[in-house]
Amino acid sequence: MGMEYSEREVDILVVGGGTAGPMAAIRAKETNPRLNVMLIEKANVKRSGAISMGMDGLNNAVIPGHATPEQYVREITIANDGIVNQQAILAYASNSFQMIQRLDKWGVKFEKDETGEFAVKKVHHLGNYVLPMPEGHNVKKILYRLLKKNRVDVTNRYKVTRVAVGKNHRVSGVMAVDTRTAEIVFIKAKSVIICTGAAGRLGLPSSGYLFGTYENPTNAGDGYAMAYHAGAELSGIECFQINPLIKDYNGPACAYVTGPLGGYTANAHGERFIECDYWSGQMMLEFFRELEGGNGPVFLKVNHLAEETISTIENILHTNERPSRGRFHKGRGTNYRDDMIEMHISEIGLCSGHSASGIWVNERAETTIPGLYAAGDVACVPHNYMLGAFVYGEIAGLEAVKYCEDMRGEETDKEFMVRESERILRPLKRKSGITPYQAEYKIRRLVNDYLQPPKVTRKMELGLRRFSEVRDDLEGLWADGPHNLLRAMEVHDILDCAEMAAVSSLYRTESRWGLYHYRVDYPEKDDDWLCHVQLYKDGEGRMVCKKIPVEPYIFEPDAGEIQAYERLRIVTKDMV
């Protein structure tokens, strides 16, 4: 077989141009303009990623006068049930304010009060961290302008499939495929930064529509699979992402916007049942109980608010982030003034932006492979959200610059390139077979059947068996052209993520993080499991896990604060 791929070479390669990726590329180039920095993106950087239509607020801003880094580190330590590397959270918290100032200077619009100060709101259990962005729809435009200004090499419509590692166990480049022509390229790089977002196409939404996910469905879990196959460690995979969303629409309602204006999550009687709307596993467990119990379903209630407040809410929710919310409500005849909005829980996903599943990184965004960095939803820094993606994008960009300044690139095995290009092209070479749509539907339906919490040991074991049968079926996967080849490659990523989710969930024999890891056979939290679970590929190519201790805390959370999160349910008269 002849050469089926071309080759290119750069210094720093950023994979994924959503939120963290553009920041990494811009800051790397600003720091050392002589370096050749490429941003490679599956979609188009102009409108890609979770923030393609902007955002309606920062969920976790640490702004002097409202919160301190120490407070924030303690809050997230508790929200993530003790399993955090506090150094990594602290690096975020300490850089949060300078990043907000940087974005503000670049022209991103945050809400300010009459005196020109940032108008921070309280949504979390303990501290004040939410900074609204009612005019946040232009974030991507601003990032795009800076990418152009700094001469970042933007390469759109390529799906990166694998990260290559050289003989000295350092990163050496990536394989990627053009999603419109199916041409394959090997890009040699001294340093690679993975910013590919969440594993958003893991569970099947209850609508049955594969692309009606909470996350932007371009994020199929590619980065998790790439890191795994390259030999990096992942962590907290068993801490699933599950969100409270508008039923069927499957987007946020969004309590962080409505909460500070007087809206709240209510049961069928219109009563509050949780103390605080900040998304955590503990909150989701209460949500799940209410939904399944006699008081369900669950609603977002704003119909008691004044007309002026409701118009403000509509204006924010229907122009930012997920703007088609408005037309969905209209189609169903739902009006915020009269009706409560029916809510539901999302399909499962992997996402450190909202919970904790990700590629293992330290406070310098380094993975366990030298030269390989990760930032944003795909990197394990719990509850990082959008500002965390920006902060860690910056950290990764700056660290990558330092790393490659005195580095010569690693060589990659030709055999790796040949093998990978053959793997990519296989579905195109068939004349018929299982379509990516069928394979994806089946895997994601199995994920719902066997992995959706409450987690049951026997079910997860069966799930693993079914996944391995589907893996055999994928030998017959067929793509009729480049677009379906992209989907076929994603099917492999989705299956890898499903297997990771099952393996790490089975490994942790306790319950933790509320609904995210609620194991019916091990219903209690167990202090023996106050540790990270690392998932990786062993020498024989098997998917395995190991425990590593939680690093000593810098700030010890106090008992009263811990109880606050454990007591999220409002104590009603009949419960006392």
Residue ranges binding other proteins (CB under 8 A): 43-44, 46-49, 52-53, 157, 179-180, 207-213, 216-218, 248-250, 322-324, 327-328, 331-332, 432-435, 476, 478, 483, 486-487
Nearer Cβ to other proteins, position 115 or 432? 432
Minimum distance between the CB of residue 402 and ligand FAD, rounded to whole angstroms?
A: 21
* From ligand FAD, other proteins, none, interface partner of 414 (C-beta below 5 to 8 A by class): none
Minimum distance between the CB of residue 47 and ligand FAD, rounded to whole angstroms?
A: 9
With residue 286 as reference, give the H or E element that holds it: helix 281-292
With residue 230 as reference, give the H or E element that holds it: helix 222-230
* From ligand FAD, other proteins, none, interface partner of 179 (C-beta below 5 to 8 A by class): other proteins
Are the C-beta atoms of 153 and 38 separated by less than 8 Å?
Answer: yes
Minimum distance between the CB of residue 153 and other proteins, rounded to whole angstroms?
A: 18
- Residue 431 identity: K
DSSP tag of 551:
P
Nearer Cβ to ligand FAD, position 196 or 265? 196
Nearer Cβ to other proteins, position 47 or 167? 47
Q: Pick from 236, 217, 538: which is nearest to 347 by CA? A: 217
Nearer Cβ to other proteins, position 155 or 172? 155
Minimum distance between the CB of residue 558 and other proteins, rounded to whole angstroms?
A: 42
* From other proteins, ligand FAD, none, interface partner of 47 (C-beta below 5 to 8 A by class): other proteins
- Residue position matching structure tokens 């795009």: 144
Nearer Cβ to other proteins, position 413 or 475? 475
- Residue 426 identity: R
Q: Which residue is nearest to ligand FAD (CB)?
A: 18
Minimum distance between the CB of residue 384 and ligand FAD, rounded to whole angstroms?
A: 6
Minimum distance between the CB of residue 386 and ligand FAD, rounded to whole angstroms?
A: 3
Task: Report how far residue 549's alpha carbon sits from residue 175's, in angstroms, rounded to the nearest whole number.
Answer: 34
Query: Could you tell me the two tokens for 363?
Result: 């406070």
- Residue position matching structure tokens 């005196």: 115
Minimum distance between the CB of residue 527 and ligand FAD, rounded to whole angstroms?
A: 30
Task: Report how far residue 283's alpha carbon sits from residue 277's, in angstroms, rounded to the nearest whole number.
Answer: 7
Q: What are phi and psi of 173, to 5 degrees?
A: 155, -165
* From other proteins, ligand FAD, none, interface partner of 248 (C-beta below 5 to 8 A by class): other proteins
Minimum distance between the CB of residue 528 and other proteins, rounded to whole angstroms?
A: 42
Give the contacts of 332 (CB within 8 A, at least 6 positions apart).
none
- Residue position matching structure tokens 């700056």: 398
Which stretches of the chain bind ligand FAD, using CB under 6 A? 15-21, 40-43, 48-51, 55-59, 159-160, 195-197, 214-216, 218-219, 222, 251-252, 256, 321-322, 353, 376-378, 385-387, 389
Task: Report how far residue 79's alpha carbon sits from residue 201's, in angstroms, rounded to the nearest whole number.
Answer: 25
* From other proteins, ligand FAD, none, interface partner of 323 (C-beta below 5 to 8 A by class): other proteins
Task: Report how far residue 218's alpha carbon sits from residue 490's, in angstroms, rounded to the nearest whole number.
Answer: 9
Nearer Cβ to other proteins, position 15 or 189? 15
* From other proteins, ligand FAD, none, interface partner of 376 (C-beta below 5 to 8 A by class): ligand FAD
* From other proteins, ligand FAD, none, interface partner of 433 (C-beta below 5 to 8 A by class): other proteins
Minimum distance between the CB of residue 413 and ligand FAD, rounded to whole angstroms?
A: 21
Task: Report how far residue 219's alpha carbon sits from residue 497's, in angstroms, rounded to the nearest whole number.
Answer: 12
DSSP string, 427-462: HHH-SS-B-HHHHHHHHHHHHHHHHSSSB-HHHHHH
At 177 the three-state DSSP class reads: strand
Query: Could you tell me the two tokens for 87?
Result: 């150094």
In this structure, the strands spanning 244-246 and 341-345 are antiparallel
* From ligand FAD, other proteins, none, interface partner of 466 (C-beta below 5 to 8 A by class): none
Nearer Cβ to ligand FAD, position 77 or 218? 218
Q: Tell me the residue ranges of DSSP E strands in 50-178.
A: 57-58, 131-132, 153-155, 158-165, 171-178
Minimum distance between the CB of residue 324 and other proteins, rounded to whole angstroms?
A: 5
* From ligand FAD, other proteins, none, interface partner of 267 (C-beta below 5 to 8 A by class): none
Task: Report how far residue 191's alpha carbon sits from residue 13's, in angstroms, rounded to the nearest whole number.
Answer: 6
* From other proteins, ligand FAD, none, interface partner of 432 (C-beta below 5 to 8 A by class): other proteins
